[in-house]
Structure 1
Amino acid sequence: MSEDIKKMYRTIVSDHFPDEIKITFGDQTLTYRKRTWKIEVEPGVIEERGLRYGENPDQEAALYELVGGNLVLGECEYIEPGLGLVSSLSEEDMLQFGKHPSKTNLTDVDNSLNILRYLAKRPACVIVKHNNPCGVAHGETIEEAFIRAYRADRIAAFGGAIALNRSVDKACAEAISREYFEVVAAPEYEEGAVEILKKRKNLRIIRIKRIDRLEEYWGKRVVEFKSLIDGGIIVQQSQVNKVRGPEDLKPAVAKKPDGTEVRCKREPTEREIEDMIFGWAVEIGVTSNSVLFVKDLCTVAIGTGEQDRVGVTEIAIFKAYVKYADLLCYDRYGIPYKQLELEIRKGLRPEAQKIEIDEETRAKRAGLPGSVMVSDAFFPFRDAVDVAIKEGISAIIQPGGSVRDWESIEACNEADPPVAMLFTGQRVFKH
């Protein structure tokens, strides 16, 4: 029975979707072609197949590439054919099929690229799991970017999808191959790097040639479809990041109900502004409601998909403490924190090891002091801001626009030391 259950995750489900789809918007038509690959389904047997399956093994799925039509609606011209990334992957780009990609693998890579397109100026790594980033970081080299992103949340990164915006060299490949991932995507792989990565037999190794030109996709929109349970659909334009540089950030100014103006007193430092812009790029790819913390161009903790903003702030802080303690434990003893707890309960390790890690984590406040708080929407109350300030954050970036913005600004001014805050004027919900 157990083997039958395991087998279903490796079985490629045949799909009954057509080879071509046409979608008509009034008098304009977009044409999509199904993407398939010639793969070895069993030793010596080559067949042409599409996606392994959808989100789950009992769901048929298909991948389509835009191949015809140029859509213009109002003043917006949408992305044109010939710019495929994930949707245009060929057999030559799948350097190792691994278990063969499913919908989840490719949508994870796609959301990585959604974030990476705003981080093109320096080596960067995005690690995504279940369509949310686990860790995102810049580095002086692509190896450093990967290591920083991985160490930001090595627990969640297990089995995730990695996307890198520079060629993978041997050093980076060695670092990746030491851990377990489902997918790695990069614009190219230097000589010897693929051979190192292939030590992981189930790893999908993907080359996406336009990753090094992702910045060209910054302002390009697509039409997004949301299917409803009754067969209906909602369509919308995709989001575009409006924060390209410091000049796009706005001072945090608001008025109290009595008309008195309240202004954030402290200006952010150059480092904080860099982290604000970096964090906002990451926030574009996080499921809302979300709050995240970044420091030195690396995520510290990412809170995702909660119904209330103070709740997601508390969860992000909790995650920061959990990940910090786990990393200390892993660096010190070579095991996860949860394994340390188990071995202590079994009498295999002294409790002093856990106490030492817990005390250091609390003393360092999980690395949160000096970090920038990023929120995808305004704060309806000051509670989330107060919770974050208590942990030592030094600056906040948020859209602004709440009738209680003045309360959040006052929370920053009352802090000791004062906290900086800037507005983006853009909400970036993602559902």
Structure 2
Amino acid sequence: MRALISVSDKTGIVDFAKQLQELGVEIISTGGTASALTDAGIPVIGISEVTGFPECLDGRVKTLDPHIHAGILAMRSNPEHMEQIAKLGVETIDLVVVNLYPFKQTILKEGVELEEAIENIDIGGPTMLRSAAKNYQDVSVIIDPRDYEKVLVELREVGKVSKTTNFYLSSKVFEHTASYDAMIADYMRKQRNAEVLPEVVTMTFEKVQDMRYGENPHQQAAFYKEIVHPKGTLASAVQLHGKELSFNNINDTNGALELLKEFDQPAVVACKHANPCGVGSADTIHEAYVKAYTSDPKSIFGGIVVANREVDVATAEEINKIFVEIVVAPSYQPQALEVLKKKKNIRILSLADITVKQPDTAYDLKKVGGGLLVQTIDNALLAEGELKVVTDRQPTEKEMEDLLFAWKIVKYAKSNGIAIGKDKQSLGVGPGQVNRIWACNQAIEHAVEALGADVLKGAALASDAFFPFPDCVEAAAAAGITAIIQPGGSMKDQDSIDTCNKYGIAMVFTGMRHFRH
């Protein structure tokens, strides 16, 4: 039996090769791997001894040779194959142990140049891996050091690797090379500033964790991260306390983080089932939390709280007065962290770059039966130059501030969505309704229940899409709301404008909608 070993990741390779040697396996190797094995006293056949051709082009060409690939690809059960390699003087290679140039590690380095990235694209490695994986009936192929022991056990016990194990190893190779090529394709597309939505989309993700279940206990789930994941995402967060995040935890927290990134001032977003249920902004993070909590103290229970400033002791003590699933912040005062940890089941996450937004070219993906919907993320808040007052009355400076605050919130509420805000505090959110008036009534009812009817006097209302009827304006006027912001664009816009003028409500059109399905 002969093995070809050429690895970039040398974890465990010396011990593995020693045990192969003890089992009578001849070892072919090259470059740094050959040096490491030789230094450990393991006899190695140099690659040039097999090919009869010296390595060249700075090592770019060494294994791309028929003496290597014929030895790997020859089907042992095919007499013609075996006769041909015998005539050519080619010996079979039964075990291929290869992992690839560190392309991922290279492109993750700060300031890496294109030339360095290109030099770390492996050519010979994937070719050997694919050859061996294709001929899995006769060849064992290993890319992952964690599989060394599995192969050794079978070699010790039965003298060969089972077909079942070889098929497992083969499938891992094709998963790995597909991911490797997808990384390269994605990197090069970005380097040439190619079209945002190419003809063929190739993506690769790495598993972060398996989960106990998905949205429901009967569904399997796992969390995967992008290879080059943007800063400020949950994939970069550090968990400081509590059990692992669930599928719903991650999905809901992601929605809260997206809304939080809209704020420059200290802000807190409380979220439930991926919808904002309380939002507050103030001079301090403590004041911001109190605003977020008091806007809807019922819904925040068992929810998620995210903050864009360090959590202090006062804020931690307020949070601990109720049960919340998760708290995410850029940092925590040491005492504040100890306060939060008193709650056994709370998950505490630190996310240093919590305010960093994803790039405009980032994708939003939605899997549908038989296909994938791909779009760029909704990174815009307002269309430049489109904001215009359409009513007789102009909003006051204070009303405009409240309108823009509510507009940020409704952008992240499920459609049909309505958000009401005043004094940098959400008053009521009506998300995910099948008609807009239900969303409007729900937002008003929540505000009245939590804060009393008078809180809506002089408040601002935002709608994620246009009003097809003036019924929402009628409801807003009855509640005491004095300013409305919406995209506009309905054939019946004038009905809503006329109704606003009737009640002295200022209305602003954004020219941009924010559907969220």
Alignment TM-score, normalising by the size of structure 1 = 0.72
Q: CA deviation at 1:401?
A: 0.7
Quote the Cα distance in structure 2 between the aligned partners of 1:129 and 1:142.
Answer: 20
2:432 matched to 1:305?
A: yes
Quote the Cα distance in structure 1 between the aligned partners of 2:361 and 2:324.
Answer: 30
2:53 matched to 1:53?
A: no
2:389 matched to 1:251?
A: yes
Q: Deviations over 1:179-229 (max 9, x none)?
A: 110000000111211100001100000001111x33x44x6242222222x
- Amino acid in the other structure paired with 2:338: E
Q: CA deviation at 1:136?
A: 0.5
Q: CA deviation at 1:277?
A: 1.2
Q: Secondary structure at the match of 1:384?
A: helix
Please give the residue correspondences for 1:25-424 in structure 2 after superposition, counting only pairs within 5 Å: 26=199, 29-36=202-209, 50-68=210-228, 81-83=229-231, 85-89=233-237, 93-96=238-241, 98-120=242-264, 122-211=265-354, 213-214=355-356, 216-217=357-358, 220-228=360-368, 230-243=369-382, 249-252=387-390, 264-324=391-451, 361=452, 365-415=453-503, 418-424=504-510
- Amino acid in the other structure paired with 1:251: V
Larger Rg: 2
Contact 1:35/1:88, CA 8 A, preserved across alignment? no
Q: Deviations over 1:85-135 (max 9, x none)?
A: 10233xxx1100x23210111111111111111112x10000000000110
Q: CA deviation at 1:319?
A: 1.9
Q: Deviations over 1:137-194 (max 9, x none)?
A: 1012101101110110010100001000001111111111111100000001112111
Q: Secondary structure at the match of 2:245?
A: coil
Q: CA deviation at 1:311?
A: 1.9
Determine the structure 1 residue equivalent to 2:150. none
- Amino acid in the other structure paired with 2:218: D
Quote the Cα distance in structure 2 between the aligned partners of 1:155 and 1:241.
Answer: 31
Summarize the Cα distance change of 1:84–1:173 in structure 2 as closer, same or farther, 3 Å threshold: closer
Q: CA deviation at 1:367?
A: 1.4
**RMSD over equivalenced CA pairs, Å:** 2.2
Summarize the Cα distance change of 1:233–1:82 in structure 2 as closer, same or farther, 3 Å threshold: closer
Quote the Cα distance in structure 2 between the aligned partners of 1:85 and 1:426.
Answer: 26
Quote the Cα distance in structure 1 between the aligned partners of 2:250 and 2:378.
Answer: 19
- Amino acid in the other structure paired with 2:337: V
2:513 matched to 1:427?
A: yes
Greater relative contact order structure (CA < 8 Å, 6+ sep)? 1
Quote the Cα distance in structure 1 between the aligned partners of 2:267 and 2:351.
Answer: 15
Quote the Cα distance in structure 1 between the aligned partners of 2:284 and 2:254.
Answer: 23
Q: Deviations over 1:287-320 (max 9, x none)?
A: 0001111011111000011111112111222222
Determine the structure 1 residue equivalent to 2:129. none
Q: Deviations over 1:339-391 (max 9, x none)?
A: xxxxxxxxxxxxxxxxxxxxxx4xxx251111101000000011111111111
Summarize the Cα distance change of 1:244–1:138 in structure 2 as closer, same or farther, 3 Å threshold: farther
Report how many residues are paired: 328
- Amino acid in the other structure paired with 1:88: S
Q: Secondary structure at the match of 1:293?
A: strand
Summarize the Cα distance change of 1:82–1:369 in structure 2 as closer, same or farther, 3 Å threshold: closer
Alignment TM-score, normalising by the size of structure 2 = 0.60
Identity of aligned residues (%): 39
Quote the Cα distance in structure 1 between the aligned partners of 2:305 and 2:199.
Answer: 39
Q: CA deviation at 1:82?
A: 4.5
Determine the structure 2 residue equivalent to 1:256. none
Summarize the Cα distance change of 1:140–1:52 in structure 2 as closer, same or farther, 3 Å threshold: farther
Name stretches of at least 5 consecutive residues in structure 1 with no aligned partner: 1-16, 37-49, 69-80, 253-263, 325-360
Q: Secondary structure at the match of 1:209?
A: coil
Contact 2:440/2:472, CA 8 A, preserved across alignment? yes
Quote the Cα distance in structure 2 between the aligned partners of 1:403 and 1:166.
Answer: 44
Q: CA deviation at 1:426?
A: 0.5
Summarize the Cα distance change of 1:221–1:113 in structure 2 as closer, same or farther, 3 Å threshold: farther
Q: CA deviation at 1:244?
A: 8.4
Contact 1:65/1:88, CA 8 A, preserved across alignment? no
